[in-house]
Structure 1
């Protein structure tokens, strides 16, 4: 008895997903994965990744990339991109190890909506700069 092969479903064009759906997925994916991968897929994914809604909550801790490159200039650059893309709507930022005085001031100056700041093992932040940044947040 010959069994006919199952029909192959049509290929999906993921670039045609609505931008609001992509943005929702990117929120779940996380800042590092969006910046290192999703934005490189196609133009529509890049556009969705630029939506300020994606960047209201930026968690850049507990990620294998952070653990491997704890003082990376790349992490600092990615954090600045995330802050800029939030367009002043950043409400929560979490960073681990790589956060510096410069980045803390950068976040404070550009994030009037910030409600939560979580810094883990950030030895490159001085007490003076931390105290200076707090009134800005």
Structure 2
């Protein structure tokens, strides 16, 4: 292992958690957890996963016609489902749009500590 990489791997868990808490959810999920084993371990810190909020990404692309497609809904589901499966105990708030009944059912079954659920523009059935 290269010496500069070893220095990152030797940061304390508290320090790593502090660094990860300053990253966006996207950066946490798409890169930080892949740096090394100690970063992946710190990534599992419950305090980092109490809120799953995709709303800022919708605000950026509000005018896009892609938001109403079935493919887009599938993408949202594919983002929400692994988060719920891996951090379900810690989730207290979810803010999302255009997800399916299947995803909402998973949230209902797996997130016992959820206190707030914001689902905008979802066609939710009675199921």
Compute the TM-score of the two structures, normalised by the length of structure 1. Answer: 0.66
Residue of structure 2 equivalent to 1:35: 29
Structure (1/2) with the larger helix percentage: 2
* Residue 102 of structure 1 pairs with residue 96 of structure 2: no
Q: CA deviation at 1:113?
A: 0.8
Q: Which residue of 40, 48, 51 corresponds with 2:42? A: 48
Q: TM-score, normalised by structure 2?
A: 0.71
Larger deviation, residues 13-22 vs 43-52:
13-22
- CA distance in 2: counterparts of 1:31 and 1:62, whole angstroms: 11
Whole-angstrom CA distance in 2 between matches of 1:74 and 1:15 = 33
Structure with the greater alpha carbon radius of gyration: 1
**Given the superposition, is the C-alpha separation of residues 121 and 76 from structure 1 closer, same or farther in structure 2, using an over 3 Å criterion?**
same
What whole-Å deviation, never above 9, does each CA across 1:79-112 have from its counterpart, x for those lacking one? 2222233241210011133x21111111111111
* Number of the residue aligned with 1:128: 126
Alignment of 1:1-137 (within 5 A): 13-63=7-57, 67=61, 70=67, 71=72, 73-97=74-98, 99-122=99-122, 125-129=123-127
Aligned-pair Cα RMSD in Å: 2.9
Structure 1: distance between partners of 2:74 and 2:35: 23
Gaps of at least 5 residues in structure 2 are: none
| 8 Å contact kept, 1:32–1:78 | no
Whether contact under 8 Å (1:31, 1:82) holds in the other structure is no
Distance apart, 1:117 and its partner CA: 0.9
Moved beyond 3 Å, runs of 4+: 66-70, 72-75
Q: Could you list the runs of 5+ residues in structure 1 that have no partner in the other structure?
A: 1-10, 130-137
